[in-house]
Homo-oligomer: A and B are copies of this chain.
Amino acid sequence: MTRKVSIALDAMGGDFGPDVVVPAAFAVLERDDSVNLSLVGLPETLEDARRAAGGRYDGRLRYVLATEVVGMHERPAEAVRRKKNSSLHLSIQEVKDGMADACVSAGNTGALTATARYILKRLPGIDRPAIISAVPGLNGPSFMLDLGANLGCSAQHLLQFALMGSVVAEGILDIERASIGLLNIGEEELKGNEVVREAGELLTRSSLNYIGFVEGNDIFSGKANVIVSDGFVGNVALKTMEGVASLISSYLHEEFRKNILRKVQGLAASPALNALRDRLDARRYNGASLVGLNGVVIKSHGGADKLAFETAVHMAIIEARKGVPLQIGRLIEDQSAECIRA
């Protein structure tokens, strides 16, 4: 039997707030009856949602009242200190209080990260919570971290990222012993910067399934299930990836619009082009997990539509079911025990 889980949703976050979150919530409830949801929002939003639900999800949909909203450009530190009744803050509080197994917000990334750290606290043995997300690959998705929560990491931090990434990848891909690659420039042991080389040594001595250095082009080749890097490098790689995909899509668009003949050819090609678009669709990869805390927190893209937000909720459901924070905690303990033995 599938384990029942409860997920708190920040109804006010993102570019579209409840216009996206509420319909996505209904879709999730309809698809999966082992999921309960809490909608966290302003009074009027909750009223509207309750009316729209029309009693369909009685007992499976809770309404949690917030009195304020964190703006997309608000400073993280201010949001933590002054917005304790915001939908963002209260969504995370639901997890802390055990009312939800995970929360999802499309709100201000900095504020979400800072508030989650403040409320949920770091797992013992984790120095730096990190942001992890799925990226497309030749043989299905792989996972990348850190995507921007940490700049200037030590080798020890990168080891912790590898460990957390391995738990997430194994949980979501439903595999054993996820393979770990360390992002570097050049595959030889001599190359790259000192921190990365040192992290390579730590990983070689760990119990993780470490396969060595990988380069930027390997992110998509399926060489490793998890790609580990500093948050600065990871974020640049992620954004570069988005940039190239959008450049190629613009080029394709231009080429199939050059003249009447090309337009007709474009029509003929549209089934394959649509299939390509679906495979690269960023919405299929929406949902970045903030790992390393006592609880599951998923960040949805601010511009997510209903389908994309559902994907993020789905990630929250799996991480909650698999008990990702608990598993990370255990793996950290095992590693420490090994280090003491070694």
Contacts and interface: CB of A to CB of B under 8 A. Distances in A.
A217 B243 contact: yes
Interface size class of A (residues with CB under 8 A): 35 or more
A24 B275 CA distance: 40
Contacts of A219: 240, 243
Interface stretch (A49-57, A251-259, A309-317): A251-259
A247 to B, nearest CB: 4
A211 interface: no
Nearest to A219: B243
Contacts of A221: 243
A242 B248 CA distance: 12
A246 B233 CA distance: 21
B269 A272 contact: yes
Contacts of A272: 252, 255-256, 258, 262, 265-266, 269
A238 interface: yes
Given A233-B236, A247-B138, A268-B265, A241 B216 contact: yes
Nearest to A240: B216
Nearest to A255: B272
Nearest to A190: B75
A187 to B, nearest CB: 11
Can you tell how many copies of this chain the complex includes? 2
Given A152-B193, A216-B241, A246-B217, A236 B185 contact: yes
A218 interface: yes
Main secondary structure of the interface of A (DSSP, over half): helix
A252 B232 CA distance: 31
Contact of A244 (B220, B233, B250): B220
A276 interface: yes
A241 B239 contact: no
A235 B240 CA distance: 12
List of 7 A-B pairs having minimum Cβ-Cβ separation, nearest first: A216-B239, A217-B243, A269-B269, A216-B240, A255-B272, A185-B235, A244-B244
Interface of A: 136-138, 148, 151-152, 183, 185, 192-193, 215-221, 229, 231-233, 235-248, 250-252, 255-256, 258, 261-262, 264-266, 268-269, 271-273, 275-276, 279-280
15 contacts: A185-B231, A185-B236, A216-B236, A216-B239, A217-B239, A218-B239, A219-B243, A233-B233, A255-B275, A256-B269, A264-B268, A265-B272, A266-B272, A269-B269, A269-B273
